[in-house]
Amino acid sequence: MRLPKLSSPAALRRAGVLGMNQRNGGFIAQYNRREHYPRVDDKLTTKRLAEEFGIPVPQLYGVVERQHEVNRLAELLAPHDQLVIKPSQGSAGKGILVIMGRDGDSYLKPSKEALSLTDIRRHVNNTLSGLYSLGGRNDKAMVEALIQFSDAFEGFSYQGVPDVRVVVFRGYPVMAMMRLSTEASDGKANLHQGAVGAGIDLITGRASAAVQFDRPVEHHPDTGRALAELVVPQWDELILLATRCYEMTEIGYLGADIVLDRERGPLLLELNARPGLAIQIANQTGLQPRLERIEQLSRRDHMMMQAEDRVAFSRREFGGKP
Ligand SMILES: Nc1ncnc2c1ncn2[C@@H]1O[C@H](COP(=O)(O)OP(=O)(O)O)[C@@H](O)[C@H]1O
Ligand SMILES: [Mg+2]
């Protein structure tokens, strides 16, 4: 299926494409309770919750919360050649610093650009003062392990770790996409930074259509690899992990970002209570009919289902339909 031209809202609605107002009013407002937001709006809280719940996450090396702790940054970083520094309340890839290795006293970014300890301190100071965070509020800087991505993604992602976004509605995985970093996206797999989004079939984990900056693409823009060859390994495990985030957060309309570590397998990177709508473009199909299908389930049906059953239901209903 091809979506109609983006310029016609009426045509999009007929094709079942969920718009921003419907998403906010019809789904987020109805299914996401305010008091549950803190579980996902702060990555440190999410990480701790996930650990309690037995959902694997990238290892936390440390947290910098106060300005004076910035002086001890060198000690915190010393044991790790590779790491990621990120704002606890950031979004869309802002303020995420990926360090791939060292060269003497320098820290190397994915692009091989060298940063000094002073550069890193400045970055962390900026992070604490809220430069990258929601509403510019003061924030914490998390230092965590760098994900070592699976060989299966070689050539599909340029200098960055790809992630899989799964939209989970009332505990049912309804749509998935893989986000592949590009030269433009600087080691991050966020679409707004220029990553490629590839729709992923719920049954097989295989890519269907792909987009960059909302335009269809067939090959990775930097590596030239054909995106149709992309298959996500450990897909069953990954989709189940995303689904279990519903029990963990009780958030009805949820976006789960999952990465695949070569050794540890699928790990939860972060959760989002207001996931973006571009996943529909990447999949060339609308969310609305799928969400309605889930809404039709009786309360009893719904209560009976375990995470495994809900995955099976979604695959049956929504899988294999590019
Ligand atoms: N621990 C990590 N290892 C490698 N890459 C990471 C790591 N954390 C984040 N990234 C990269 O940054 C992107 C955005 O990270 P995420 O934690 O989802 O924050 P945001 O809220 O800004 O989207 C990821 O898709 C990934 O490409
Ligand atoms: Mg993210």
321 has pLDDT over 80: no
pLDDT band at 60 (very low <50, low <70, confident <90, very high): very high
* Cα distances (angstroms) measured from residue 302 to each of 169, 237, 244, 294: 12, 22, 15, 9
Residue 97, ligand 1, Cβ within 6 A: no
Residue 59, ligand 1, Cβ within 6 A: no
Q: Tokens standing for 8? A: 């016609």
Q: pLDDT: is 302 or 311 the higher one?
A: 311
Give the strand pairing for 141-144 and 114-115.
unpaired
Q: What percent of the chain has pLDDT over 90?
A: 81
Residue nearest ligand 1's atom 1 by CA: 146
Q: Which residues of 186-203 are buried (b: 16+ CB within 10 A; e: fewer)?
A: bbbbbbebbbbbbbbbbb
303 has pLDDT over 80: no
- Ligand 1, residue 94: give the atom nearest the CA: 22
Q: What is the structure's pLDDT at 12?
A: 80
State how far the Cα of 139 lies from the Cα of 90, in Å rounded to an integer.
9
The identity of residue 283, as a single letter, is: N
State how far the Cα of 85 lies from the Cα of 186, in Å rounded to an integer.
14
pLDDT digits (tens, 9 = 90+) for 86-136: 999 998 889 999 999 999 999 999 889 999 999 999 999 999 999 999 888
262 has pLDDT over 60: yes
The dihedral of CA 166, 23, 300, 46: what is its sign? Answer: positive
Q: Report CA(256)–ligand 2 centroid distance (Å).
A: 8
pLDDT band at 67 (very low <50, low <70, confident <90, very high): very high
Indicate the SS3 state at residue 250: coil
Q: Residues 114, 142, 197, CA angle at the centre, nearest 5°? A: 75
Residue 98, ligand 1, Cβ within 6 A: yes
The dihedral of CA 321, 261, 152, 111: what is its sign? Answer: positive
Mean pLDDT throughout 232-240? Answer: 97
**Which domains does the chain show, CATH number per domain?**
9-56+149-318 (3.30.470.20), 60-144 (3.30.1490)
